[in-house]
C-alpha cells in the first residue's frame, strides 16, 4: 500500500514518490492541487503545480504566481514510479480527486468532494480498483443529510420570489468561490439582476468560460443594489455590505444550516441547507461503493461516528 504522511490541515505527502497533495512539502518533486479554496492551495504561492484549468485560473485570481501544468480529467500522467489521473470531484468548478497508481497499489485522494455533484461543476466520477481511499468527512454525523438538489433549487427560487414580491432585497450569504456561483446558476432561470461581492465577481468569468450559466450579474454597487439579488460572504455584512438597504431579507446558505444551534448563531432571516460537501450518508455510500482495502478519514470533527459505521460494514478505516 502507498505510504503517506499528513502534512497540514488539508495536505498529504507521499514520501516514496516525492509527491505532495494540496500542500507545499519541502521534499516533494511533484505538487498536485485538488481545487482553489485557500486551505487547499499551496502555502508557497510560487510552487509549480499540476491542476485543472479552472483551478489554475481561480488560483491566479487569488494570488498564485507559479507555473502550472494543466491536466484534463481522465488523462493519465506518468511520473516515473507513479501514474496520476484526475477525476471530477463535484465540489466546485475545477475540483478534482487525485488517483495514484504505483507498484505498491492504488490510492484515491478526494480533496473536497460531493455526490450528487454541484450543478456548477464538471460532475463526479470514480476510478476503479482503489486500494486505499483518503476521503474528507466534514459533515460526518447522521444529522447531516441533504435534500435533493431539485428541492434546494426550488427553496432558493421561492425565497427570492417571495422576498422580491414583498418589495424587499434578497441577500444570500455564501462563499465567494463555489457556493456563490452555484446559487447564481440556480437563480439564472429567474432572469433577475444579480449583484455579487467584488471578490466573488472576479471569479465568475472562469465559470462562464467553462460554459456555466450565471445569469445576468454585476459587481455589487451600494447605490444600485436595492431590489437586486445580492450575494456575499457573511463576513462582509459586518463591514457594511448592504448596510444602506433597510428593507432586505437574508438567507444563510451552508451545510451548517442543518443544525438549529448554528442557526441561532446567525442573524439571517432564512436558512438554506446547501453544501458542496458529502453528507454523512453519501460519505458512507461512497466507501461502500468503492470497498477499498483501507479508508482514511480526514478533515472531520467527528471521525469516531464514521469509523463506527464503516466498521459495521466490515471496512478497515482510520482517521487522521
* One pLDDT digit (tens) per residue for the chain, 320 residues: 999 999 876 799 999 999 999 998 999 999 999 999 999 998 888 999 999 999 999 999 999 999 999 999 999 999 989 999 999 999 999 999 999 999 999 999 999 999 999 999 999 999 999 999 999 999 999 999 999 999 999 999 999 999 999 999 999 999 999 999 999 999 999 999 999 999 999 999 999 999 999 999 999 999 999 999 999 999 999 899 999 999 999 999 999 999 987 787 778 999 999 999 999 999 999 999 999 999 999 999 889 999 999 999 999 999 99
Q: How far is CA 201 from the centre of its chain?
A: 18
In this prediction the pTM is 0.96
Cα–Cα separations (whole angstroms), residue 203 to 32, 55, 84: 21, 11, 28
Would you state the pLDDT for residue 9? 67
Would you state the pLDDT for residue 301? 87
CA dihedral 166, 172, 178, 182 (to 10 degrees): -10
Phi/psi at 61 (5° precision): -65, -20
DSSP 20-67: EESS--TT-SEEE----STTTS-SSTT--EEE-HHHHHHHHHTT--S-
C-alpha–C-alpha distance, residues 287 and 310, integer Å: 8
- Quick check: do 5-143+277-319 and 149-272 share a fold? no
Q: What sign has the CA pseudo-torsion 260, 262, 267, 273?
A: negative
Side-chain-side CA neighbours of 218 within 13 Å: the count stands at: 9
Which residues have C-beta within 8 Å of that of residue 15, sequence separation ≥ 6?
Answer: 3, 4, 5, 27
* Residue position matching grid coordinates 432572469: 191
The CATH fold assigned to 149-272 is: Rossmann fold (3.40.50)
Q: Return the number of other C-beta atoms located less than 10 Å from residue 196's C-beta.
A: 27
5-143+277-319 domain in CATH 3.60.15.10?
A: yes
What is the bridge-based pairing of β-strands 105-109 and 96-102? antiparallel
Would you state the pLDDT for residue 119? 98
Burial of 224 (C-beta count, 10 Å sphere; 0-12/13-18/19+): exposed
* Residue position matching grid coordinates 511520473: 79
Amino acid at each position: 500500500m502507498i505510504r503517506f504522511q499528513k502534512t497540514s490541515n488539508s495536505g498529504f505527502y507521499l514520501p516514496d514518490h516525492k509527491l505532495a497533495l494540496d500542500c507545499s512539502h519541502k521534499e516533494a518533486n511533484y505538487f498536485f492541487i485538488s481545487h482553489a479554496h485557500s486551505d487547499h492551495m499551496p502555502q508557497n504561492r510560487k510552487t509549480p503545480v499540476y491542476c485543472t484549468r479552472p483551478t489554475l485560473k481561480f488560483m491566479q485570481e487569488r494570488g498564485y504566481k507559479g507555473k502550472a501544468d494543466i491536466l484534463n480529467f481522465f488523462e493519465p500522467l506518468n511520473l516515473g514510479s507513479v501514474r496520476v489521473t484526475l477525476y471530477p470531484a463535484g465540489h466546485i468548478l475545477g475540483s478534482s480527486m487525485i488517483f495514484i497508481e504505483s507498484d505498491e497499489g492504488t490510492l484515491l485522494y478526494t480533496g473536497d468532494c460531493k455526490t450528487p455533484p454541484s450543478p456548477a461543476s464538471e460532475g463526479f466520477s470514480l476510478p476503479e480498483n482503489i486500494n486505499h481511499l483518503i476521503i474528507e468527512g466534514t459533515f460526518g454525523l447522521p444529522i447531516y443529510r441533504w435534500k435533493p438538489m431539485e428541492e434546494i433549487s426550488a427553496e432558493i427560487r421561492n425565497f427570492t420570489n417571495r422576498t422580491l414580491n414583498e418589495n424587499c432585497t434578497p441577500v444570500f450569504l455564501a462563499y465567494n468561490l463555489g457556493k456563490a456561483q452555484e446559487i447564481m446558476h440556480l437563480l439564472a432561470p429567474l432572469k433577475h439582476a444579480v449583484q455579487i461581492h467584488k471578490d466573488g465577481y472576479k471569479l465568475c468569468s472562469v465559470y462562464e468560460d467553462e460554459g456555466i450559466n450565471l445569469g445576468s450579474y454585476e459587481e455589487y454597487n451600494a447605490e444600485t443594489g436595492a431590489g437586486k439579488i445580492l450575494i456575499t460572504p457573511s463576513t462582509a455584512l459586518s463591514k457594511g455590505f448592504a448596510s444602506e438597504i433597510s428593507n432586505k431579507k437574508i438567507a444563510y446558505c451552508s451545510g451548517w444550516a442543518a443544525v438549529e444551534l448554528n442557526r441561532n448563531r446567525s442573524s439571517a432571516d432564512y436558512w438554506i441547507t446547501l453544501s458542496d460537501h458529502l453528507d454523512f450518508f453519501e460519505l458512507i455510500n461512497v466507501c461502500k461503493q468503492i470497498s477499498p482495502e483501507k479508508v482514511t478519514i480526514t478533515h472531520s470533527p467527528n471521525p469516531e461516528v464514521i469509523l463506527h459505521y464503516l466498521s459495521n460494514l466490515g471496512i478497515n478505516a482510520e482517521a487522521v
